[in-house]
Amino acid sequence: MQVITLGTGSPIPDPLRAGPATLVRAGGRDLLFDCGRAVLMRAAAVGTGPMSFHTVFLTHRHSDHITDLNDVITMQWVMTPGPTPLHIVGPVGTQKLVDNTLTMLAEDMGYRIDHHESLQYEPTVEVTEVTDGLVSDDGGVRITVAPTDHSPVRPTVGYRIEADGKAVVIAGDTVPCEGLDRLCAGADLYVQTVVRDSVVKMIPAPRLQDVLDYHSSITQAGETAQRNGVKTLVMTHPVPGVAPGTEQEWIDEAAAVFDGEVALANDLDTFTL
């Protein structure tokens, strides 16, 4: 199994970090988690793309995690040679999001259907809304979901992917909570979006202070990993941006409460299990 951090950014535009998106390669499948800014550019960099995505999973509907969902839908529709369902799994509200996205794309779909004789059908998107428990278990890949806590954003979920005797957790945006603990129990790799609260607190911007109460701090991510016997913590979506030369400080802050391996992910980092 492989985990590739396609995009490790936050909502703030960063020339080196695409929006939140993580690729999990398991059982010969490409599983995409979230669709942030430039997800398809980063996917192309590792030789995959909308035609190859087995399933697209969403953790929640904050804009930075779904900005390029429309691109994924459009390009999967245009690039596949015949009507092919795009499978999207997400929290309750995902069907509405997809319906609204298709409404937004209606004119574009019309242009392309009018122009391409071989494209006389609209995108086929199959949505499964999930809350808690088993999502799927086939082809040697078992995926479970649990509710997370990113209040007041509701609902939000995290995922656990098990294959080849290994377990990976894609947590999304969340503070520590019971659902996250269940996902992380004994996991080999835990990918968590983080804020560095010690730095954020020094920045006099009220809107930035607001992010503190609904994301895991580095310390909280480390504590979640420690409490649940995780082997490797992968921090992503760093807020604020990582000042050059301070990378080790982020890692040390997690390592102060967690005995396992810690990584601060960059775009296109690959973790092989």
Least separation, in Å, of the C-beta of 60 and Zn ion?
6
- Strand runs (DSSP E) across 12-52, as ranges? 21-26, 29-33
Note if 64 is an active site residue: yes
Q: By CB under 5 A, which span of 7-15, 157-165, 167-175, 178-186 interacts with Zn ion?
A: 167-175
Residue 251 to residue 234: CA distance in whole angstroms: 10
- Crossing angle between the packed helical segments 69-79 and 94-104, to the nearest 10 degrees: 70
The residue with its CB nearest to Zn ion is 62
Least separation, in Å, of the C-beta of 175 and Zn ion?
11
Least separation, in Å, of the C-beta of 154 and Zn ion?
11
Structure tokens that stand for 23 in this block: 């690729």
Q: By CB under 5 A, which span of 9-17, 59-67, 112-120, 129-137 interacts with Zn ion?
A: 59-67
Cβ contact 86:58 at 8 Å: no
Task: For Zn ion, give the closer residue by CB, 109 or 234.
Answer: 234
- Residues sharing a CB contact under 8 Å with residue 34, sequence separation 6 or more, in sequence order: 7, 19, 20, 21, 22, 57, 58, 59, 65, 66, 172
Phi-psi region of 216 (alpha: psi -120 to 50; beta: other; left: phi over 0): beta
Cβ-count burial 136-153 (b if 16+ within 10 Å, e if not): beeeebbbbbbbbbbeeb
Q: Which one of the listed residues 14, 30, 34, 64 is annotated catalytic?
A: 64
Least separation, in Å, of the C-beta of 64 and Zn ion?
7
Least separation, in Å, of the C-beta of 62 and Zn ion?
3
Site for Zn ion contains 173 (CB under 5 A): yes
Task: For Zn ion, give the closer residue by CB, 37 or 62.
Answer: 62
Task: For Zn ion, give the closer residue by CB, 162 or 173.
Answer: 173
Which strand (E) or helix (H) includes residue 74?
helix 69-79
Q: By CB under 5 A, which span of 10-18, 56-64, 163-171, 203-211 interacts with Zn ion?
A: 56-64
Binding residue count for Zn ion, defined by CB under 5 A: 2
Task: For Zn ion, give the closer residue by CB, 65 or 160.
Answer: 65
Q: By CB under 5 A, which span of 42-50, 55-63, 87-95, 229-237 interacts with Zn ion?
A: 55-63
| Distances from the Cα of 6 to the Cα of 25, 31, 41, 191, angstroms | 12, 12, 9, 12
Task: For Zn ion, give the closer residue by CB, 62 or 160.
Answer: 62
DSSP state letters, 184-223: HTT-SEEEEEEE-HHHHTTS--HHHHGGGGGSEEHHHHHH
Site for Zn ion contains 149 (CB under 5 A): no
**Of 61, 62, 196, 237, which one interacts with Zn ion (CB under 5 A)?**
62
Residues that bind Zn ion (CB under 5 A): 62, 173
Active site residues: 64
